[in-house]
């Protein structure tokens, strides 16, 4: 089969290449990919700003159909699923034993260390499977994984309560998901973005969230500041604005990844006694939250899907993601076979 691969260390070295179609071992399943989302992490992997173990098929936001299984996993064949991303965790370190496999030092994830979802098929352990709700469209299933990551950062414990005023900086997929999660917790949510985010901010309003342009943010800060502020921009100006918009004693959550050291006024945290938390990747518990948020109608994934591309058009899809053109662009490898 063909897959979009990181072929060697260093910036670039991303190309479509040939890899053997994987065979599921005991306890593993073979998933036919319906959609794999392109994420900021993939761009960081292309730029060599996020660890990977090439040569490897990229793509970690996967949804698809279980089409075959190894010994002991037959019962999963036919399920329409989204995938937890950990191919291997040690299960003996403190993190694994406390349900935080995302922090396991031995963790090897699909799309960076083990072949992932930018290919027609991917193999994962059966325990990684989560059912996609019938209400979620074929390609939008790829958005469960970023939702599980947002839930990891925002839900255990919940960062907002009814009556809180929450600000999300950066209205990409993670921002639009995080805004919906905060609203589910009872907060009044405002998303901020730049003029190039105009279409994304319009989508936020269609989802019932408030919006503000970053240039107007200072004037829009309520009273003494937002109770909860979540950065989904991963960019120094966004993070700086986010820290400044948090009220004294308020809660600041870092979700965006900068991919390199950046300069910030760290005294804002001390002088304002901010509570700072974060979330990286997902946990089995955050997947449970994700499923409940979709099934309860609190989070809508389908409006965030912009377009599906064949593998052959990956460069255009990556470039558009880099240019913040659209919200979530996905690769559907079945489109390559359908092309003339």
Backbone φ and ψ for 330, nearest 5 degrees, come out as: -125, 160
Which CB atom, from 77 or from 92, has the smaller least distance to Zn ion?
92
Q: Which residue in 90, 207, 214, 236 binds Zn ion (CB under 5 A)?
A: 90
Secondary element (H or E) of residue 126 = none
Q: Which residue has the tokens 């899907």?
A: 305
Q: Which residue in 30, 39, 122, 329 binds Zn ion (CB under 5 A)?
A: 39
Q: Which residue in 93, 214, 235, 324 binds Zn ion (CB under 5 A)?
A: 93
Which CB atom, from 52 or from 246, has the smaller least distance to Zn ion?
52
Q: Is 167 strand, coil or helix?
A: strand
* Helices 173-184 and 198-206: angle between axes, nearest 10 degrees: 30
| Residue 329 in the binding site for Zn ion (CB under 5 A) | no
Q: Which residues contact 102 (CB under 8 A, 6 or more apart)?
A: 86, 95, 152, 280, 281, 282, 283
Report the C-alpha gap between 85 and 46 in whole angstroms. Answer: 18
Quote the Cα angle for 109-160-42, to 5°: 25
Written as six digits, the tokens of 87 are 């191919």
| Residue 96 in the binding site for Zn ion (CB under 5 A) | yes
Distances (CA, A) of 320 to 219, 306, 323, 325, 329: 31, 11, 5, 5, 8
Cβ 89 to Zn ion shortest distance, Å: 5
Cβ 282 to Zn ion shortest distance, Å: 10
| Residue 41 in the binding site for Zn ion (CB under 5 A) | yes
Q: Is 334 strand, coil or helix?
A: helix
Cβ 42 to Zn ion shortest distance, Å: 7
| Residue 242 in the binding site for Zn ion (CB under 5 A) | no
Cβ 97 to Zn ion shortest distance, Å: 8
Cβ 37 to Zn ion shortest distance, Å: 7
Binding mask 258-297 for Zn ion (x = CB under 5 A): ----------------------------------------
Residues near Zn ion, by CB under 5 A: 39, 41, 89-90, 93, 96, 104
């Amino acid at each position: 089969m063909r897959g979009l691969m990181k072929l060697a260390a260093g910036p670039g070295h991303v190309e479509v290449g040939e890899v053997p179609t994987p065979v599921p071992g005991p306890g593993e399943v073979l998933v036919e990919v319906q959609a794999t989302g392109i994420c900021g992490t993939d761009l960081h992997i292309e730029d060599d700003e996020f660890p990977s173990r090439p040569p490897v098929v990229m793509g970690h936001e996967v949804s698809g159909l279980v089409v075959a299984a190894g010994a002991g996993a037959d019962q999963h064949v036919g399920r329409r699923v989204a995938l937890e991303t950990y191919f291997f965790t040690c299960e003996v370190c403190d993190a694994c034993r406390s349900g935080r496999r995302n922090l396991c030092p031995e963790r090897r994830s699909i799309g960076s260390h083990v072949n992932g979802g930018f290919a027609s098929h991917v193999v994962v352990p059966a325990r990684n499977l989560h059912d996609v709700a019938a209400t979620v469209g074929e390609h939008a299933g790829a958005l469960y994984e970023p939702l599980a990551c947002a839930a990891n950062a925002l839900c255990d414990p919940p960062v907002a309560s009814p009556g809180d005023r929450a600000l999300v900086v950066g209205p990409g997929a993670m921002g639009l998901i995080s805004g919906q999660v905060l609203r589910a917790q009872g907060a009044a949510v405002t998303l901020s973005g730049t003029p190039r985010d105009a279409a994304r901010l319009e989508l936020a309003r269609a989802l019932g969230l408030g919006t503000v342009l970053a240039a107007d943010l200072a004037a829009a800060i309520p009273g003494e500041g937002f109770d909860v502020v979540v950065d989904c921009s991963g960019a120094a100006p966004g993070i700086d604005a986010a820290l400044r918009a948090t009220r004294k004693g308020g809660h600041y959550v870092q979700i965006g990844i900068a991919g390199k050291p950046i300069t910030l006024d760290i005294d804002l945290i001390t002088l304002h006694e901010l509570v700072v938390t974060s979330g990286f990747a997902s946990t089995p518990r955050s997947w449970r939250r994700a499923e409940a948020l979709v099934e309860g109608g609190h989070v809508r994934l389908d409006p965030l899907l912009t377009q599906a591309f064949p593998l052959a058009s990956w460069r255009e899809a990556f470039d558009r993601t880099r240019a913040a053109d659209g919200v979530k662009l996905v690769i559907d490898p079945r489109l390559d076979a359908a092309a003339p």
